[in-house]
Amino acid sequence: MTKLKSLLDTGSEDFRANTAHYRAKVAELHALRRSQRVGGPESARARHVKKGKILPRERVERLIDPGTPFLELGELAGLDKYDGVPPGAGIITGIGVIEGRHCMIIANDATVKGGTYFGMTCRKHVRAQRIAWANRLPVVTLVDSGGAFLPDQENIFPDEGQFGSIFHQQVGMSGDGVPQIAVVMGPCTAGGAYIPALCDEVVIVRGQGFMYLGGPELTFAATGEKVDNETLGGGKMHCSVSGVTDHLAEDDAHALAITREIVKHLGERPSPRKTPAPPRAPAYAVEEIYGIVSRDPKVPTENREIVARLVDGSDFHEFKPLYGDTLMTGWGRIHGHEVGILANTGVLFVEAALKATHFINLCVQRDIPLLFLADVNGFMVGREVEQMGIAKAGAKMITAMSSARVPKFTIITGGSYGAGYLAMLGRPFQPDAMFAWPTGRAAIMGPEQAASVLAQVRAQINGREGKTWTKEEEEAFKAPIRKEYEDFQGAYNFASNLWVDSVIEPCETRDVMALLLDITSRRPKVETHFGVFRM
Which pLDDT value is given to residue 455? 94
Spatial distance between the Cα atoms of 154 and 144, rounded to a whole number of angstroms: 23
**Mean of per-residue pLDDT scores for the chain:** 96
Best CA proximity match to 63, nearest among 268, 239, 207, 263: 263
Strand partners, 189: 212
Three-state SS for 348-400 is: ECHHHHHHHHHHHHHHHHHCCCEEEEEEECCECCCHHHHHCCHHHHHHHHHHH
Q: Which residue has the higher pLDDT, 462 or 364?
A: 364
Q: Find residue 298's DSSP bridge partners.
A: none
pLDDT above 80 for 85: yes
Give every CB contact of residue 27 below 8 A, 6+ residues apart in sequence: none
Parallel, antiparallel or unpaired: strands 91-98 and 70-73: antiparallel
Per-residue b/e over 188-221, b at no fewer than 16 CB within 10 Å?
Answer: bbebbbbbbbbbbbbbbbbebbbbbebbbeebee
Q: Give residue-wise pLDDT tens across range 328-387.
A: 999 999 999 999 999 999 999 999 999 999 999 999 999 999 999 999 999 999 999 999
**Pairing relationship of beta strands 370-376 and 201-205 according to DSSP bridges:** unpaired
CA distance 233 to 205: 11
pLDDT value, residue 215: 82
Do 36 and 496 touch, CB atoms closer than 8 A? no
Residue 218: what pLDDT?
80
pLDDT of residue 1: 66
- Give buried/exposed letters for 276-302 (b at 16+ CB in 10 A, else e): beeeeebbbebebbbbbbbbebeebbe
Amino acid (one-letter) located at 364: V
Burial class (CB within 10 angstroms; exposed 0-12, middle 13-18, buried 19+) of 7: exposed
Rounded to 10 deg, the angle between the 350-366 and 390-403 helix axes is 20
**CA atoms of 199 and 204, how far apart (whole Å):** 13
Q: Say whether pLDDT at 311 is over 80.
A: yes
Burial classification of residue 174, based on how many CB atoms lie within 10 Å of its CB (0-12 exposed, 13-18 middle, 19 or more buried): middle
Distance, C-alpha 65 to centroid of its chain: 23
List Cβ neighbours of 386 (8 Å cut-off, separation of 6 or more).
none
Give the orientation angle of helix 471-489 with respect to helix 447-464, to 10 degrees: 140
Query: Mean of the pLDDT values across residues 498-515?
Result: 98
Give the E-state strand segments of 45-90 in sequence order: 70-73
Q: What is the pTM of this model?
A: 0.95
| Mean local confidence (pLDDT), 31-42 | 95
Map out the domains of the chain as residue ranges: 1-37+276-440+490-535, 39-264, 445-488
Element (H, E) at 484: helix 471-489
Pairing of the two strands 101-108 and 91-98? antiparallel
pLDDT tens for each residue of 86-98: 999 999 999 999 9
Fold of 1-37+276-440+490-535: 2-enoyl-CoA Hydratase; Chain A, domain 1 (3.90.226)
- For residues 46 and 51, what is the distance between their CA atoms, to the nearest angstrom? 9
121 Cβ contact list (under 8 Å, min separation 6): 78, 89, 90, 91, 149
Q: Find, among 461, 374, 460, the residue nearest to 417 by Cα.
A: 374
User: pLDDT > 70: what percent of the chain?
Assistant: 100
Domains 1-37+276-440+490-535 and 39-264 share a fold: yes
Q: If DSSP codes are grouped into helix, strand and coil, which group holds residue 465? A: coil
pLDDT value at residue 216: 84
Report the percent of the chain where pLDDT is more than 90.
92
Asked whether residue 32 carries a pLDDT value surpassing 90, the answer given is yes
Which one, of 93, 13, 102, lies nearest residue 60 by Cα?
93
Side chain identity, residue 264: K
Distance of CA 221 to the CA centre of its chain: 42
Distance between the two ends of the chain, CA-based, in angstroms? 33
Residue 490 phi, psi (nearest 5): -70, 155
In tens, the pLDDT along 474-484 reads 999 999 999 99
Contact criterion met (CB below 8 Å) for 391 and 362: no
**Span of 195-209, 294-308, 339-353 with lowest mean pLDDT:** 294-308
| DSSP secondary structure of 158-224 | SSTTSHHHHHHHHHHHHHTT--EEEEEEEEEEGGGGHHHHTSSEEEEETTT-EEESS-HHHHHHHH-
- Nearest-10 Cα torsion for 321, 325, 331, 334: 130
CA distance 31 to 206: 37
Residue 53 Ramachandran class (φ > 0 left, ψ -120 to 50 alpha, else beta): beta
CA 105, 106, 110: angle at the middle one, nearest 5?
A: 135
363-372: buried (b, 16+ CB within 10 Å) or exposed (e) per residue? bbeebbbbbb
39-264 is classed CATH 3.90.1640.10: no
